Every structure is written in structure tokens, then in C-alpha cells.
């Protein structure tokens, strides 16, 4: 059975920006990845460790699994939104698949660190992340 590739999109200034999992070619790619690295560094200080079980691809090496999970499409879209909107502006990200558990935890942490509401609409429901919590109360 072949799994559909994950992608997410965010609209900024009436323009839709689409991101695919692991995408290294999109707009502002280098800035997005640098922004995520800064966020991951801050999260690591709070005890965050990427969960390699969330990788859907058949990959053996743990480091490669961590790299893949850290490149999920919603994370790229969120970082792009943070880079291209005013501080405090809520973000709205749409995703074609269900948000994985690791991305759910990461988005909670990002919402607290940057002081923003982040609305993520995945294949199943809306998640409103605010101040480190999610409206689904971690039951999705």
C-alpha cells in the first residue's frame, strides 16, 4: 500500500504557499530551516527529543529518522508563517494528512515560545494551539 505524501499550505497576503515533507527547494528554504533549527535548539533545552517512530518511510538510521520527522510539512509552513507575518499574528496552516504526535507536541511548544495562536486543520479536525496547549486536549 502506497501512502500519500504529506503536504501543508499557508496563505499569506492572499498567496498560498505549499510545502511538502522534506522539501528543500521551496521559497526561503534556507531561512525556514535556520528558523526551525533555532526553535529545535530552544525546545531541546526544554527536554524535546524528536520521535523517530513518526517516520513513515522505511529508514534504518535513527539520525535520518530524526531528520525526516523534523522536516514534516506543517513545520515548514509554520516556520514560513513566522518569518513572513508580524509578531503576534495568528497562523493558519492546512494539512492533507493527520498531524503526527511529534508535530503536535512541537506545535504546542512553538505556540508557547513565540506567543502566537497557530490553527492547524489536518485531515481529521482543527487544532488551535495557544500558550503551549491544544484545543483537542491531546485527544485526537
2 in a domain, yes or no? no
Strand 15-20 and strand 91-95: the pairing is unpaired
pTM of the model: 0.89
14 in a domain, yes or no? yes
47 in a domain, yes or no? yes
Mean pLDDT for 16-20 is: 95
- Give the total number of structural domains in the chain: 1
33 in a domain, yes or no? yes
Whole-angstrom distance, CA of residue 75 vs CA of residue 60: 23
139 in a domain, yes or no? no
| Domain of residue 57, residue span | 7-134
114 in a domain, yes or no? yes
100 in a domain, yes or no? yes
Element holding 93 (H helix, E strand): strand 91-95
Question: Is 39 a residue whose pLDDT tops 70?
Answer: yes
User: What pLDDT digit, counting tens, does each position of 78-113 carry?
Assistant: 999 999 999 999 999 999 999 999 999 999 999 999
Over 37-82, what HEC string results?
Answer: HHHHHHHHHCCCCCCHHHCCCCCCCHHHHHHHHCCCHHHHHHHHHH
94 in a domain, yes or no? yes
Residue 70: the pLDDT is 73
Amino acid at each position: 500500500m502506497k501512502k500519500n505524501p504529506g503536504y501543508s499550505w499557508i496563505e499569506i497576503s492572499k498567496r498560498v504557499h505549499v510545502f511538502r515533507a522534506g522539501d528543500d527547494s521551496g521559497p526561503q528554504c534556507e531561512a525556514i530551516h535556520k528558523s526551525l533549527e533555532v526553535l529545535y535548539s530552544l525546545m531541546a533545552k526544554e527536554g524535546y527529543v524528536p520521535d523517530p517512530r513518526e517516520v513513515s518511510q522505511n529508514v534504518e538510521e535513527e539520525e535520518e529518522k530524526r531528520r525526516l520527522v523534523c522536516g514534516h510539512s506543517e513545520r515548514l509552513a509554520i516556520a514560513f508563517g513566522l518569518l513572513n507575518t508580524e509578531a503576534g499574528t495568528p497562523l493558519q496552516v492546512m494539512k492533507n494528512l493527520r498531524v503526527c504526535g511529534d508535530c503536535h507536541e512541537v506545535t504546542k511548544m512553538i505556540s508557547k515560545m513565540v506567543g502566537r495562536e497557530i490553527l492547524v486543520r489536518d485531515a481529521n479536525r482543527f487544532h488551535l494551539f495557544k500558550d503551549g496547549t491544544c484545543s483537542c486536549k491531546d485527544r485526537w
